[in-house]
Structure 1
Amino acid sequence: MLHITLWKRILIWGLCALGLLTALPNLFYNRVEKHNDAIVAAERAGFETPEQAADRALWPGWMPSGIVNLGLDLRGGAHLLAEVQVADVYKARMDALWPEMRRALSEARGEIGGIRRAPSDPAELRIQIEKPEAMAKAVEIAGGLATNVVSLTGVGQKDLAITAEGNTLVVRLSDAERAATDDRTMQQSLEIIRRRVDEVGTREPTILRQGSDRILIQVPGIGSAEELKSLIGTTAQLTFQPVVGRGTDPNAIARAGQEILPSLDEKGIYYTLEDMPVVTGEELTDARPDFDQNGRPAVSFRFNPTGARKFGDYTAANVGQLFAIVLDNEVISAPRINQHIPGGSGIITGNFTVESSTQLAVLLRAGALPAKMNFLEERTIGPELGQDSIDAGRLSSIIASVAVVAYMVASYGLFGVFASIAVMVNVVLILAVMSMMGATLTLPGIAGIVLTVGTAVDANVIIYERIREELRAGKRVVKAIDDGFSEAMSAIIDANVTTFIAAAVMFFLGSGPVKGFAVTLTIGLVTSVFTAIFLTRMLIVLWVEWRKPKQLIL
């Protein structure tokens, strides 16, 4: 019989009410967005500014605050295609290997004679041996520093390829190690870029590896491609170096093992530093905006156990000396070591603002990019163009909805009104589910919603046609409606399963825009089945219970 138990009625109306409440923040998009941004910014900084408090008050805290994120084509933003210079990592590996190689070969000086590093390609290390007849011994010693390649494809292979050319020992990365290094470099670059972009609160960025050495970066809501480049392109190479001297001559000649770097805040001041850092940013575990003892913005930091030990040992042995904090070849601060600093924590002071200290903390916390990047393609999509896309999508959705409603009402009368109500609720539920998921809506996603509006009534059409057949067979109204829903169920399930399979294929094999279409289509399938089978049935049952019709013209 055409009957719905009380608990099912409560569940159906409850789900509809929950969907409406969850989708409601999208009607107040800008206010909710500012509210969410203020909460995230305050949590990251550890304190709340008056402006953030005002933004947080724009939306009640007890209300749902999830919204559908707008993609690059709707919100505007920046698009970059970057090429990672993986060869930079080879040079860094060779430079880091030289001190260890020099120490190992020096221990056998009696057999191989003197050694010195010769000019070479950045990707290799060339060492001249005083006694060419002992080259085999030198190759053996150098080979002892090779380790196994850490990768699935390089199992059993060594990371160094060592050869002899006359009286020169040549050290390069092996082919297997180069492949593993390239992969690690790309993965590290992807992670660092993702962390830097996430730190500034952008929503749903697209950061993907393309090919062997390229990265696609799309960030909705950011001002321009230049702004995005400045955020991700900064290498943030932090070092802590001993200070030898301080002066005003940028052309002064530095001794071997020293370098002259400018001060970031003190115009015209240059520091002479020892070029070997005591600790580096790679040993940094945390950095956050803070305030110094005078209440001025600063950045606090903390080292890992290795860095903490080296930092503590150096400060204990050099009390009273200047200690430079260098970021990207500029001295941002050169405090005096007043006492031993154990524990591996400290603070960077300088001419900071709250904004600049927060930005520096972001860069330090995200780490240093392992290699430089060349930007092959950059594009800025203005918010005006994104708004035009939103307006076009809204207009197409309205036209599609009006056309569907008009057709259903013209074809099925009052039952067409019930189906139209179900379609509108279906759209609300799609937005609610996407808001809970934090999904991103793009132009293809809007196309998926419009398609869902058009196809959501298919289930109702099948049901209504089955009811018509039952009425023609002479069944009473209640029996015809009940049998119409029962008989149509298998056809509805089959049709939606096949569409779901197509959506799954598009999601797993498609690119970003295709995936966006597949996500909205899949969500629409689930919600349309719910609204067509359960909500429409509920509306019809209520009407039947109220009017108790003896006959039905459909």
Structure 2
Amino acid sequence: MSHNLRLAFIIIGLAIMAWFITPTVRWYFFTSEDKKEESNLSLDEMIAKGYTKEQIDDIQALKRLRSESVNMGLDLQGGIRIVLQADFEEYAARLDRTASSLTAEEKNDAMDRLISRLRGRIDQFGVSEVGIRKQGEDRVVVELPGARDPDRIKSVVLSQGALTFNLVDEQATAALTTNDMLMGVFTNMAKVPEYGKLLYFYSEKDDFGRRIRGAPVIVNKEPSLEGSSLVNAQVGGGQFGEVTVEFELNNEGSEQFALVTAQNVNRMLAIVLDDKVISAPNINDEIRGGRGVITGRFTLEEAQDLARILKEGALPLNVSIVEEEVVGQSIGADSVKAGATALLMAAILVGLFMIIVYRLSGVLATIAMLVNVILIIAVLSPLRFTLTLPGIAGLILTIGMAVDANVIIFERIKDELKIKSNVADAIISGYDRAFATIFDSNITTIIVALILWIFGSGPVQGFAITLFFGILINLFTAVFITRYIYEELIRTKMVKKAGFFFI
């Protein structure tokens, strides 16, 4: 390859890398902490706080900038990690089958739909780089870097989201007495008719703001309308300033809703979410237009979460939390400091070793090593990579491997200098002879890194990605950048003696 062609490759490569790394630099060095906090607001929260369209557009642009940057993972900035267990027994029962009769394809399809619905719910929190992945056959790992409210996250994740509208059997409900209750639980099931279903009101709250089980109510077992007819839900306000959730139905649902309300004027219609009666308003007249309002003494956050759940729809599988971990922000900051210190110490020690042993060549190798780290971050930016501690470990390993290629080249050049008096010929011959060795040694590591990337998950995958791109960039800097610098030094006749390059 000619000298000028090598320069062209370097310029094009560095220009592309500069384009890639720009969002990361803008986010971490030119965006204030206040702006970063604002970027965590959801659209509903911005509207509720009275943000103008221009302000919302600015924050949405910040969100896009953040998504195009290399983000820090859960272990570096703190947050919440939840492992969910899917209930295939209940899922199979809904299909009148047994869990053992479900095929692997059916289970995978159900898990994919579960992850899709969970992502839709959680993404609207505004949390940066939500990590949702399948673990094994029936588990889902949810990681939310930067999240600070585990109770709210869990309530949104665990809510099945099954909304129904059921007519209240007022006569059967009126027949219920305190004698039918034992420690707040209804026990006299003989009073529940065959067509009915016993539920409880969850409209009251305790001193901590949690919804508590209230009075029992009997509703028709068959719902008058399913939540699948709902096409939109949003936070609204009542005539007395209370927070409500407004919903809109599709054409079929609108017709059904109008029919139900027309036939049952002066009856109570229970709004049921996950078998909990949120409210049971009285039907005063036929309701046309497919629009309605859910009331229930909501806080703004509760209304936002309910609207979010209703818009995304019911989860295809019931889930339960089997693991829960909250990583504090201070712990994440300590991890960042420790990782940065390790990376810096590795770079300094390796750089000193190279300069002591190889003089000017060691300086060039150290510069190439630093360029390597910057280029790795640049490559990871468009991939929307989330940097974790294993990822930092991959970067540190890449530092060692970056100089490893240069050591091979330098030693080969030293061998050539023993039989050639011309420095320029020795350097060019050393590079040509060393390339095959460098390529062979790195290709095996690339294959291993690729396998870990494809089949690994979580921390293993993060380590594999940084290692994979680190090796590729190492080849680029060794074959193109350092060689071009050597050729330029030789061409300008700045160096004539081998001793200036090596001890």
The bucket for the TM-score relative to the shorter chain is 0.7 to 0.9
Sequence identity (%): 31
**Which segment is superposed worse, 213-222 or 174-183?**
174-183
How far is 1:305 from its partner?
5.3
Instruction: Please state whether the residue corresponding to 1:437 is helix, strand or coil.
Output: coil
Query: Aligned-pair distance for 1:494?
Result: 1.8
* Residues in 1 aligned to 2:60 and 2:272: alpha-carbon distance in whole angstroms: 43
CA contact (8 A) 1:35 1:57 kept: no
1:334 aligns with 2:278: no
How many Å separate the matches in 1 of 2:46 and 2:246? Answer: 12
Q: 343, 348, 367: which one pairs with 1:402?
A: 348
Q: How does 1:460-499 map to 2 (within 5 A)?
A: 460-499=406-445
* 1:198 partner amino acid: D
- Report the CA distance shift for 1:177/1:460 in structure 2 as closer, same or farther (over 3 A): closer
In 2, are the aligned partners of 1:206 and 1:217 still within 8 Å (CA)? yes
How far apart in 2 are the matches of 1:249 and 1:236?
A: 30
Show CA shifts across 1:179-209 (max 9, x none): 8876665555444334333332332324324
Paired residues for 1:335-484 under 5 Å: 336=283, 338-342=285-289, 344-370=290-316, 372-484=318-430
Q: Identify which of 235, 255, 260 aligns with 1:289.
A: 235
**2:203 maps to what in 1?**
264
Q: Are 1:540 and 2:466 an aligned pair?
A: no
Note the residue ranges of structure 1 that are not aligned, 5 or more in a row: 95-158, 160-172
Q: Is the 8 A contact 2:39 2:60 kept in 1?
A: no
C-alpha distance 503-227 of structure 1, shift in aligned 2 (>3 A): same
The answer as to whether partners of 1:42 and 1:52 remain within 8 angstroms in 2 is no
CA distance in 2: counterparts of 1:462 and 1:22, whole angstroms: 35
Give the 3 Å change call, closer, same or farther, for CA 542–347 of structure 1 in structure 2: farther
1:73–1:389 Cα contact (<8 Å) kept: yes
* Partner residue, 1:3: 3
In 1, Cα distance between equivalents of 2:56 and 2:291? 34
- Deviation string, structure 1 residues 356-395 (Cα, Å, up to 9, x no partner): 2211112222333455444333333323322222222111
Deviates more, 1:189-198 or 1:357-366: 189-198
Partners of 1:31 and 1:58 within 8 A in 2: no
Determine helix, strand or coil for the equivalent of 1:223. Answer: coil
Q: Which residue of 2 aligns with 1:198?
A: 123
Aligned equivalent of 2:154: 229
Q: What is the distance in 1 between the residues matched to 2:430 and 2:95?
A: 73
Given the two structures, how large is their TM-score scaled by the length of structure 2?
A: 0.78
Give the alignment of 1:163-202 within 5 angstroms: 176=101, 186-202=111-127
Post-superposition CA distance 1:97-150 (Å, at most 9, x none): xxxxxxxxxxxxxxxxxxxxxxxxxxxxxxxxxxxxxxxxxxxxxxxxxxxxxx
**Alpha-carbon spacing, 1:23–1:541, altered in 2? closer, same or farther (3 Å):** farther
Q: Partners of 2:60 and 2:343 in 1: how far apart?
A: 27
Q: CA deviation at 1:442?
A: 1.9
CA distance in 1, matches of 2:146, 2:272: 32
Mark the structure with the bigger radius of gyration: 1
Cα–Cα, structure 1 residues 179 and 283, in superposed 2: closer, same or farther, change >3 Å?
farther
Secondary structure at 2:164's aligned position in 1?
A: strand
SS at match of 1:288: strand
Q: CA RMSD in A?
A: 4.1
Q: CA deviation at 1:546?
A: 5.0
Alignment equivalent of 1:505, drawn from 426, 431, 451: 451
What's the secondary structure of 2:278's corresponding residue? Answer: strand
User: What TM-score, normalized by structure 1, do the two folds share?
Assistant: 0.72
